[in-house]
């Protein structure tokens, strides 16, 4: 599509309700960005514009455009009981689903293929191929107006690989079905519909009256923590009120362990937020002296041990990196995924592909140049100014 074409710009503007002039302005200011290569039918919003959230995508459909709303930001309960009481005060009960630790995507069908958008609105070639194999296409034929939201989870995960879910390769766990404008189906309706099409879904852990919800969720969180699982999403079953998230101490600490391996790259806000949660959870759970000590040790170890490991690695001449893996059916996905990561600014090294059954496995090394260089500098006597 040629964006210099006035007519196209006018049409693109129709869907999100922006006047044509504003739309071309936003393109020029790079608030709206066109995807590349085979995905140039897609335009993502790099920031909020009126009621259109960052990460929303405009999709070229025929001669017009359609808007797909961004991934809704789910707010976090820091202190569970008062947050539940406050946020869900007008409803009778809440449903609790597992919050899985992977990466979330929104999937639609476009020109006969499934397309998966990341949170920021990029089309991820790997997630798109995988979704194509993991999700029943009939659903999208029957409900072209719906968007399927899910968490991609498992070890063959180039973003957040996890072995803790008993997933062999990569699975798509549906957690939401929404209209393109972002309106969610009620929870039970969504679970039934997804089940009708054989979708794998996140686990429904229970539905509780508001008065007992905090206690029940705490029990759930304790059990999930033992397995290093991430936490829960607490939902209004009618999906009218926004959901809340609440996570285990163990996942906070796992995030910190990962973050401090790449201490010079991880955002300080990211690390700080996880530390603060620990303090509040400790108070809310009325911890004994022994439990407090355990939590302190767990937190300290999540910080010091990964840093030690990274420093020792650099001392031994290694470079700090994050090793991940993908598994594809279509060989061409590999190159398209590499280009995608490089466009995002990542420094990646792809291993030669290995054929396993009817699929190819490729190991990807994401190089952490900033942490490597900083560590090397300090080892060589560089000062902290």
d(CA 70, CA 56): 4
Name the nearest CA neighbour of 88 among 4, 214, 232, 258. Answer: 214
Taking CB under 8 A as the rule, does residue 211 contact a copy of itself?
A: no
Q: Are 66 and 144 a contacting pair, CB within 8 Å?
A: no
* Helical (H) or strand (E) element with 57: strand 57-61
CA distances (Å), origin 95, targets 87, 92, 147: 14, 10, 21
- Pick from 3, 210, 241, 307 the residue near a copy of itself by CB under 8 A: 307
d(CA 102, CA 161): 7
- The first and second tokens of residue 171, run together, are 């699975």
Q: Are 235 and 243 a contacting pair, CB within 8 Å?
A: yes
Pairing of strands 348-350, 359-367: antiparallel
- Pick from 43, 278, 338, 340 the residue near a copy of itself by CB under 8 A: 278
- Pick from 21, 91, 292, 356 the residue near a copy of itself by CB under 8 A: 292
Taking CB under 8 A as the rule, does residue 343 contact a copy of itself?
A: no
**Contact set for a copy of itself, span 79-98 (CB under 8 A):** 79, 82-87
Q: How far is the CB of 27 from a copy of itself (least distance, A)?
A: 29
Of 11 and 298, nearer to a copy of itself (C-beta) is 298
d(CA 237, CA 244): 12
Of 166 and 381, nearer to a copy of itself (C-beta) is 381
* Helical (H) or strand (E) element with 178: strand 171-179
CA distances (Å), origin 308, targets 72, 207, 261, 374: 37, 43, 8, 14
- Pick from 30, 51, 293, 343 the residue near a copy of itself by CB under 8 A: 293
Taking CB under 8 A as the rule, does residue 303 contact a copy of itself?
A: yes
Helix 369-379 / helix 289-315 crossing angle, nearest 10 deg: 80
Name the nearest CA neighbour of 227 among 257, 255, 248, 252. Answer: 248
**Contact set for a copy of itself, span 315-334 (CB under 8 A):** 315
Residue window 240-269: x/- pattern of binding to a copy of itself, with contact defined by CB under 8 A: ----x---------------x--x----xx
Of 333 and 368, nearer to a copy of itself (C-beta) is 368
Q: How far is the CB of 215 from a copy of itself (least distance, A)?
A: 16
- Pick from 27, 164, 241, 378 the residue near a copy of itself by CB under 8 A: 378
* Helical (H) or strand (E) element with 58: strand 57-61
Of 31 and 84, nearer to a copy of itself (C-beta) is 84
Q: Are 152 and 103 a contacting pair, CB within 8 Å?
A: yes
Q: How far is the CB of 108 from a copy of itself (least distance, A)?
A: 27
Q: What are the two backbone dihedrals, phi and then psi, of residue 288, each rounded to the nearest 5 degrees?
A: -75, 165
Taking CB under 8 A as the rule, does residue 382 contact a copy of itself?
A: yes
Of 27 and 311, nearer to a copy of itself (C-beta) is 311
Query: CA geometry: angle at 204 spanning 200 and 205, to 5°?
Result: 140
Of 256 and 328, nearer to a copy of itself (C-beta) is 256
- Pick from 30, 51, 75, 133 the residue near a copy of itself by CB under 8 A: 75
Of 155 and 377, nearer to a copy of itself (C-beta) is 377
- The first and second tokens of residue 49, run together, are 């514009």
Q: What are the two backbone dihedrals, phi and then psi, of residue 64, each rounded to the nearest 5 degrees?
A: -115, -170
Of 255 and 278, nearer to a copy of itself (C-beta) is 278
Taking CB under 8 A as the rule, does residue 299 contact a copy of itself?
A: yes
Q: How far is the CB of 379 from a copy of itself (least distance, A)?
A: 6
Taking CB under 8 A as the rule, does residue 376 contact a copy of itself?
A: no
Of 3 and 210, nearer to a copy of itself (C-beta) is 210
d(CA 350, CA 331): 13
Q: How far is the CB of 183 from a copy of itself (least distance, A)?
A: 21
d(CA 80, CA 235): 13
Taking CB under 8 A as the rule, does residue 230 contact a copy of itself?
A: no
Q: How many residues bind a copy of itself (CB under 8 A)?
A: 53
Please give the residue ranges that form the binding site for a copy of itself (CB under 8 A): 73, 75-79, 82-87, 244, 260, 263, 268-269, 271-273, 275-280, 282-283, 292-293, 295-301, 303-305, 307-308, 311-312, 315, 378-385
């Amino acid at each position: 599509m040629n964006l210099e074409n006035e007519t196209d710009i006018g049409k693109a503007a129709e869907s999100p309700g922006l006047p044509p002039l504003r739309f071309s302005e936003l393109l020029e200011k790079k608030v709206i960005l066109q995807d590349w290569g085979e995905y140039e039918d897609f335009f993502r919003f790099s920031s909020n514009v009126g009621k259109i959230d960052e990460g929303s995508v405009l999709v070229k459909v025929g001669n017009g455009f359609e808007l797909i709303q961004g991934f809704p930001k789910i707010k976090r309960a820091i202190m569970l009981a008062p947050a539940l009481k406050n946020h869900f005060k007008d409803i009778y009960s809440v449903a609790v689903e597992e919050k899985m630790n992977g990466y979330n995507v929104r999937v639609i069908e476009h020109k006969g293929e499934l397309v998966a958008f990341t949170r920021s609105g990029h089309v991820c070639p790997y997630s798109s191929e995988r979704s194509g194999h993991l999700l029943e296409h009939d659903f999208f034929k029957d409900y072209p107006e719906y968007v399927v939201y899910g968490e991609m989870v498992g070890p063959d995960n180039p973003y957040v690989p996890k072995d803790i879910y008993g997933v062999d390769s990569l699975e798509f766990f549906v957690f939401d079905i929404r209209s393109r404008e972002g309106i969610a189906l009620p929870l039970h309706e969504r679970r039934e519909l997804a089940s009708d099409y054989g979708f794998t879904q996140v686990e429904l852990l229970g539905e509780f009256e508001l008065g007992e919800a905090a206690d029940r969720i705490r029990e759930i969180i304790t059990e999930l923590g033992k397995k290093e699982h991430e936490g829960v999403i607490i939902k209004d079953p009618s999906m009218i009120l926004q959901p809340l998230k609440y996570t285990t101490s163990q996942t906070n600490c796992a995030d910190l362990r990962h973050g401090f391996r790449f201490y010079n790259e991880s955002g300080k806000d990211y690390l700080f937020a996880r530390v603060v949660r620990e303090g509040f959870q400790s108070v809310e759970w009325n911890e004994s002296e022994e439990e407090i000590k355990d939590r302190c040790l767990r937190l300290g170890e999540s910080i010091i041990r990964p840093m030690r490991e990274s420093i020792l690695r650099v001392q031994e001449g290694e470079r700090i990196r994050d090793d991940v893996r993908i598994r594809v059916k279509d060989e061409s996905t590999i190159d398209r995924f590499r280009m995608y990561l490089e466009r995002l600014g990542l420094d990646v090294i792809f291993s030669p592909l290995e054929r396993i059954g009817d699929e190819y496995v490729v190991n990807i090394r994401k190089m952490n140049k900033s942490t490597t260089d900083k560590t090397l500098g300090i080892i060589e006597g560089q000062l902290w100014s």
